[in-house]
Amino acid sequence: MRDLLQGNRRGRLIDWLKIDSSIDSGLYGAWIGFRDWWSGYSSFFGRFEVKGFVRALNELACEGLTLSVAGLLVLATFALPAFETAQGKINLADEYSVTFLDRFGNEIGKRGLLRDDSVPLEEIPDVMIKATLATEDRRFFEHFGIDVMGTFRALAANARNEQVVQGGSSLTQQLAKNMFLTPERSLSRKIREALIAIYLENHYTKPEILKLYFDRAYLGGGSYGAEAAAQYYFNKSIREVNLPEAAMLAGMFKAPTRYAPHVNLAASRARANEVLSNMVEAGFMSEGQVYGARMNPAKIVERGDGKTPDYFLDWAFEEVQRLMRGKEDHILIARTTVDLGLQKSAEDALEQTIKQFGRSRNFDNGAVISMETDGAVRAMVGGKDYGESQFNRASHAYRQPGSSFKGYVYLTALENGFTPESSVSDGPVSCGRWAPKNYSGGYRGRMTLRMALAKSINTIAVKLSLQAGREKVLANLSKMGIKHLKKTCSLALGDNGMTPLEHTGGYAVFAAGGLEVRPYAVEEIKTLTGGDVIYNHERDEPPRKQLFEPKVIEQLNTMLQAVVLEGTGKAAQLDYTYSAGKTGTSSAYRDAWFIGFTGQYVTGVWLGNDDFTPMARVTGGSFPAQTWHTYMMAAHDTDNIAQIAGLPVHPVQAAEQARIAATLAQNATADAEVVAPAPESVKDMSSATRQVLEKLGAMLKDARPLTPGDAAGRPDRAEAPPAPKPSLASANGGDPAEPQPGTPPAPAEPQTALSAGRDNAASPH
């Protein structure tokens, strides 16, 4: 070893002391250098030190800069999705032009390219442009999308009058709201509206934005855009409108339904006078120039009430775009599933409820969706007023279903060994640190599943979801096409958002005996020119699958019937056929539901407020169930109603069937061929038959009334036919349980749905 360390081959030892010294001296030198730099840095900036009032301003400026950066980050979080929304939708409606027919082949409306884009801005009369800008946005060509001065002016005016008398939104903001956003009254929506307005201003010129506004605005009567409105109200192109007509059209931008001349001619003309005054105030015209328009207001073309199923048409247009994606034909005719008779009944039922009880019970909107048990949507009401808001609450509003969600939980429990007569204890239960409570605040002990669902017991629903498995509940919903829900402790109490359309479609599976149901709006699509059938629902859709065992569905239906007969849904009882369904109320009374069905129709009703403010203790068993009852009484115009799977025939229907059987037997013994006429609904008549009957009715109305003397000398005159037998839907004088107009609703059994973030809270259902 020594030889290796000495001589020519001797290695050199590591000098650890030298390395340590180098490290120490290096660190010391670095510290001295940093200290000198810091001293120089402090001395340099010390010359800029401020004191007193100047320092306070400096601190405020620094804090303001910090808050501005944070605000920009917050704005960015809103801006990115807002810009994506704008980019995705700006040209969506231009891809297709669709003429829609109802289920019987009658034209009911149009959507797409041909509705309003046919007239270039250069050909729109100057009076129309001036009337619009004078009323909606006088500084349109001066601001960057947000009229700051106009906003402050509106705030000041509203403060002086202690109410909203002026709107602060620019024309670009209105376009952003109408095209891309919901009517939700929230700060986040206003921020997105402002950001999209800035986006539009940076991607389109002022004339292009003005053209979009003229083309996309809803102006009542199912008319989108100034051209369509001019054709509808005045039977002329927008190119030809005069000053009074332009003033009337411009006045409808604010509230098309309220100021539509077919709805309220006096209000429409008064609004047109306001527009003329605005034109004078803005300096666009003199008082002498508008005097003639004031003295000779616009005259409209009589077109009846002009009501069209606009919410349904918007949804059907979305369906057409989905079905035709990737295909070349864009000018189409689509025959839909809507039944205008049922549509009107649904609109009337919702309107009556909101008008009668909305103000006193603090709710101002709702939705109704009604479909056949195969998913064919016959009526869709997406809100109380399409002119006020085109946002479709039936197909796009995600609201908490509350206890109406329990139907899916009980379905899963029945699949996993429980029966309607299984006994379960109503007692404390917890999921992690969360524990549900019943609305009554106490517990009722052991009871059957049937009674637990009828009385909407929260603790038992949560127990079933935990024992059967929340994953299995979500898997069953996924089978029905509802795949966006999340696993939470309060899943059983309906804490996830669902649209009325998909929720009603889920209950349609129960009404269909467990068969797959996909709500649909389009029966057939043809090309406009050749009439070629591009799509047919029966031909092109796959066969429906059996999603659940019929026995399980029959058991569930008997339980849902108990909800109506002896539970929270008593207001939905029908006196001529059995019904089944479930009530639901979300936490703090923000949402109230009734989803129910007969053997013919599945109908869902939702009531609430767009801004999610609580209602005045409105539960699903009160006004939603009453609205459902009102609609279903009008919807069933035939005695031929199918039997709900698992339920017996209603006594009224059984008696009618027995009467028909007895008549057939009596005629058979008399050796007479008698064929019992199949009950026929007027809705099943062809359009030609209906037209003939309508003409006949008009002729009878115009005929000279008979006097007693006319019958003298006519011994061979035929006797008057007996009075027609009333249908089962009107038997027994209607539902005795239905409250009379103005009468407070009968108290319903409370139910609860807890939102995910509200532990140990209970609310009624």
For the CA atoms of 548, 550, 553, 554, the dihedral, rounded to the nearest 10 degrees, stands at 180
CA 344 to CA 340: how far, in whole Å? 6
What are the structure tokens assigned to 507, written together? 């209950």
- Burial status of residue 599 (CB atoms within 10 A of its CB: 0-12, 13-18, 19 or more): buried
One-character DSSP codes across 317-328: HHHHHHHTTT-S
Contacts of 187 (CB under 8 A, 6+ apart): none
Q: In this structure, what is the dihedral angle of CA atoms 683, 383, 737, 461, given to the nearest 10 degrees? A: 110
755 labelled catalytic: no
If you ran DSSP here, which 8-state letter would residue 723 be given?
A: P
HEC assignment per residue over 481-510: CCCCCCCCCCHHHCCCCECHHHHHHHHHHH
CA angle 465, 466, 470 (to 5 degrees): 60
Half-sphere CA count of 254, side-chain side, radius 13 A: 24
> Which residue is it, tokens 């944070």?
70
Which is nearest to 605 in space by CA: 634, 582, 637? Answer: 582
State how far the Cα of 626 lies from the Cα of 605, in Å rounded to an integer.
10
Identify which of 531, 519, 418, 515 has the alpha carbon closest to the alpha carbon of residue 466.
418
> Strand, coil or helix: what is 388?
coil
Give dist(CA 461, CA 589) in Å, integer: 19
**Burial group, residue 397, by CB count within 10 angstroms (0-12, 13-18, 19+):** buried
Rounded to 5 degrees, φ, ψ at 158 are: -65, -35
Instruction: Give the DSSP H/E element, type plus range, for residue 214.
Output: helix 206-216
- Residue 380 CB-half CA count within 13 A: 33
Alpha-carbon distance 470 to 485, whole Å?
11
d(CA 98, CA 320): 8
Indicate if 403 belongs to the active site: yes
* Structure-token pair, residue 430: 């917890």
How far apart are alpha carbons 607 and 1 in whole angstroms?
97
The secondary structure of residue 549, as a DSSP letter, is: -
Question: Which residues in 359-433 belong to E strands, given as ranges?
Answer: 365-372, 377-381, 423-426
Q: Helix or strand or coil: residue 377?
A: strand
- Pairing state of beta strands 97-101 and 331-336? parallel
The Cα–Cα gap between 41 and 54 comes to 22
Give the number of residues written for the chain. 765
H-helix segments, 354-483 = 359-361, 393-396, 406-415, 449-454, 458-468, 470-479
Pairing of strands 591-597, 377-381: unpaired
Of the residues 170, 370, 403, 490, which is catalytic? 403
**Residues 428, 442: contact at Cβ < 8 Å?**
no
Phi and psi of 42, rounded to 5°? -65, -40
Which residues have a Cβ under 8 Å from the Cβ of 179 and sit 6 or more positions away? 89, 90, 212, 216
Among 136, 193, 524, 656, the one annotated catalytic: 136
Active centre residues (catalytic): 136, 403
